[in-house]
Chain A
Amino acid sequence: MSGLLKFITCGSVDDGKSTLIGHILYDSKLLYADQEKALELDSKVGSRGGAIDYSLLLDGLMAEREQGITIDVAYRYFTTDKRSFIVADTPGHEEYTRNMAVGASFADLAVILIDAKQGVLVQTRRHARICALMGIRYFVFAVNKMDLVGYDEKRFREIEAQIRELAGELSLSNVTIIPVSATEGDNVTKKSENIPWYTGKALLPYLEDIDITEENEEEGFYMPVQRVCRPDHTFRGFQGQIEAGTIKVGDEITTLPSNETAKVKLIYVGDKESTEAKKGQPVTIQLNREVDVSRGCVLTVASGAKVASSITATLLWMDDEELYKGKNFFFKLGTKTIPGIVTDILYAIDVNTGDKKTVTTLSKNEIAVCKISFADKIVVDTFQNHKTLGEFILIDRVTDMTSACGVVDEVHDEETGLYEGRVDRNVRAAMKGQKAITAVFVDGRNGVNRGFAEDVEKALNLDGRHTYLYAPKEGEDFVTVAEHLNRAGLVVLLLISPKQEKILTDSKIEFTTDWNTDGADVEDAAKFIKKQSVYDGATVNGSEYI
């Protein structure tokens, strides 16, 4: 018997997905008698006037029964002689896209329903896109209501061509297309005599036989650490679930991000000692020497997992509040929870058409490619390479809601240069809600003096800017110092002498100062600096002078 198959069904409101699953359960005699009785009873008060309405089996919440639509994911369990199944039945409406994504994130395979009369619709494209985004690699398109088009092969072939085109567009790898009728039971649990021109398997037999392991192989071994087990001072083990590969006693592993090596001394699978363990198992691993490892770290062998503090990722926004660039969150990735910032929204992707568009904010159920910086270096990889290290959620720091989920597209290489700790300069500036710049004041020119600079700083502070008025002494390396202050996220007011100004121009640092004209007043200067230091989400590498 094969392992568990978790799959999702999606389709728009009238495609009949609840009916399809209801029919599988009913036909396979997988219902308990009292559920069956309740179903017949419910049908009598329902919309189908006496005929069995299979969808009533699945639409559980009272609100849903009243509205006749599926608004949340419902999980159903059934077992045939060949396999155990968990099916997530999900809502098709665009406004419930996030609920569909919940179901998709849980599943290994998607069954997408298409109405034979309608063909591939906008919502079909949306469903396939969300499933692909959440990491599903096996797709079954069930062309439903074949009875209503007279089981016409020509119509089916037209739709098949539309599906192939969509699969190409989304780079879907494993695609199977089956003509069915959920209400009549054609090709649901057994092959239909009404559709002799279809030579493949009926839906349920297909799901019973499919092997979903090959597309999901990942390189190397890795285990994100959930907790450190310390029953007493003699034992220290790392507990977690193996996400890829196998491990044996004696194997040399690398700890990330500390990048130490050690050998595996002992393995428990659950509470049983074992010489080896494999993907999917909950283990406790003891190493032969002390290493710097805690929750959120990763034990690995030849996985190529990276250590970095910034990424480019595709986000699905799920919160009622909008996302704007510069907003900070808690990110949970693997077993690591860490503060971080969405530093930029590069572009949004239309969930229906796939078109890219420029946006400044993101609303519920929208998808966008964003740049993200974390407050520290973490173990991360692309979703494609190592799924568990490439999927994450964003948690709102005030409401604690799960605001978004995302998948890592790119891991950014580390910057080189001045030492700045492990917090990205852009994170520091964004947390202060500003862009870190240096504004140059040349003492004694055009009415600018120390008092003027002090007044400007005070005005900026009253306006919420985090500033530092820096008047270097003769001989100080003020260019480096100002750079450090910028990296700390501060707006620097650099008050220098005309002699020091020459050092700036020799360093080829250009700056223009609007207030260096006769009659400039404090208010104008503060206003100008405030405007120049607005946080715009762009990633800054060096200091900017004005």
Chain B
Amino acid sequence: MGELSHLDELEAEAIYIIREVAAECEKPVMLYSIGKDSSVMLHLAMKAFYPEKPPFPFLHVNTTWKFHEMIEFRDRVAKEMGIEMIEYINEEGVKAGINPFDHGSAYTDIMKTQALKQALDKYGFTAAFGGGRRDEEKSRAKERIFSFRNENHAWDPKKQRPEMWKLYNSKIQKNQEVRVFPLSNWTEKDIWQYIKRENIEIPSLYFAKVRPVVYRDGNIIMVDDDRMKLRPGEKIEMKSVRFRTLGCYPLTGGCESTADTLDAIIEETLSAVSSERTTRVIDNEAAGSMERRKREGYF
């Protein structure tokens, strides 16, 4: 029998990590964002424990500004897979009318970062799986697979535990938590190739389709519902677009594309001229912005 392919190796590593957490951590949860990386994570979790179901729940932090299609997809997949899906919404933020149009970075903080902290505290989760990859951003390239957060859910890059071989140290102090990134060593290309090989279902927003969009600050924003207020001079256009990442619709830039099959997407990705995070509006700030945000508890 020959060597494992590189996708097999990445899959084996991720499954090993997921099983270690299930075996050692007191109360794990898998964060589920409905994106392609989350779809891969869910698929890996189903494989890791088969014929058992994953022995932990999944958590979706809903900002209430997600694409409608994402929520439908989430509910259907959870039902089909027979897993427990917890939805958490920062109700205080909703009551205060916090929205991405008027509140900018405060919106991300309140509806995403704070909401996630609230959810982790509410349920008392001690370990949370995330789909982060080291190829996404420079500071993430240096983050451990088991990444510790202090009682304020913050990351301290100078206090990372040495992580040797595959001997993950999951022990935590009271009120600490660990974020675990089983896809650390995957690249965007690996994710797409794996989705294809394993025939993993992903939301159709990833595929090109004619959608109502406006052009705003160099990004293509889809008009997903009537909460989207047009600025003077803006008009809704019908364009064939797809999304390389999924998030809150007002903050997720699409790209013009005709790639409507997995092969076409992979083809487009492999010859991509910009790495995927440039379509995520919040990352285009000063160098080091992601590291700063993570120290504050962002995933």
Spell out A's residues near B (CB within 8 Å): 1-4, 32-35, 38, 42, 58, 60-63, 65, 72-77, 79, 84, 86, 98-99, 101-102, 105-106, 134, 213, 226-227, 229-231, 235, 237, 239-241, 246, 268, 270-271, 276, 278, 280-282, 284, 295, 318, 330, 332-333, 335, 337, 388, 391-393, 395, 399-402, 405
Contacts and interface: CB of A to CB of B under 8 A. Distances in A.
Contacts of A281: 4, 8, 12
A4 B23 contact: no
Given A105-B165, A282-B11, A391-B164, A33 B19 contact: no
A381 to B, nearest CB: 15
Contact of A402 (B1, B52, B169, B274): B169
| Residue picked from B48, B134, B169, B189, most chain A C-beta under 10 Å | B169
A229 B52 contact: yes
Contacts of B49: 229, 239
Nearest to A397: B171
A335 B23 contact: yes
Nearest to A398: B173
Contacts of B4: 3, 278, 280-281
B172 A400 contact: yes
B15 to A, nearest CB: 4
Given A34-B278, A74-B141, A393-B169, A105 B164 contact: yes
A76 B169 contact: no
Contact of A400 (B11, B15, B163, B171): B171
Nearest to B161: A402
Nearest to B14: A282
Given A3-B3, A3-B5, A77-B185, A402 B163 contact: yes
A105 B12 CA distance: 18
A6 B173 CA distance: 32
B2 to A, nearest CB: 9
A402 B169 CA distance: 7
Contacts of B53: 231
B162 A270 contact: no
A61 B167 contact: no
Contacts of B272: 32
B162 A77 contact: no
Interface residues on B, range: 35 or more
Contacts of B22: 227
Interface string B285-298: 00110010000000
B10 interface: yes
Contacts of B189: 79
Contacts of B187: 77, 79
B164 A102 contact: yes
Given A32-B272, A226-B23, A227-B22, A60 B139 contact: yes
Given A34-B273, A271-B46, A278-B1, 14 more contacts: A2-B3, A61-B138, A73-B142, A76-B135, A77-B185, A227-B23, A231-B53, A268-B51, A270-B11, A280-B9, A282-B12, A318-B162, A332-B167, A402-B162
B142 A3 contact: no
Contacts of B46: 271
B50 A282 contact: no
Across the A-B interface, give the 4 residue pairs with the lowest CB-CB distance, nearest first. Answer: A60-B138, A271-B50, A32-B275, A4-B6
Nearest to A286: B51
Contacts of B138: 60-61, 74
A268 B49 CA distance: 10
Contacts of B52: 229-231
Given A76-B141, A282-B16, A102 B167 contact: no
B50 A284 contact: yes
B16 A395 contact: no
Interface string B131-169: 000110011011000000000000001101111110101
A33 B46 CA distance: 36
A117 B287 CA distance: 35
A236 B198 CA distance: 26
B47 interface: yes
Given A3-B6, A268-B51, A62 B12 contact: no
B19 to A, nearest CB: 4
| Residue picked from A73, A282, A333, most chain B C-beta under 10 Å | A282
A393 B165 CA distance: 9
B202 to A, nearest CB: 19
Contacts of A395: 169, 171
A276 B171 CA distance: 35
A231 B139 CA distance: 40
Given A281-B4, A392-B167, A72 B160 contact: yes
A541 B150 CA distance: 45
Given A4-B10, A74-B142, A227-B23, A271 B161 contact: no
Contacts of A284: 50-51
A29 to B, nearest CB: 11
A81 to B, nearest CB: 12
Contacts of B224: none
Nearest to A64: B142
A3 B50 CA distance: 26
Contacts of B12: 241, 280-282
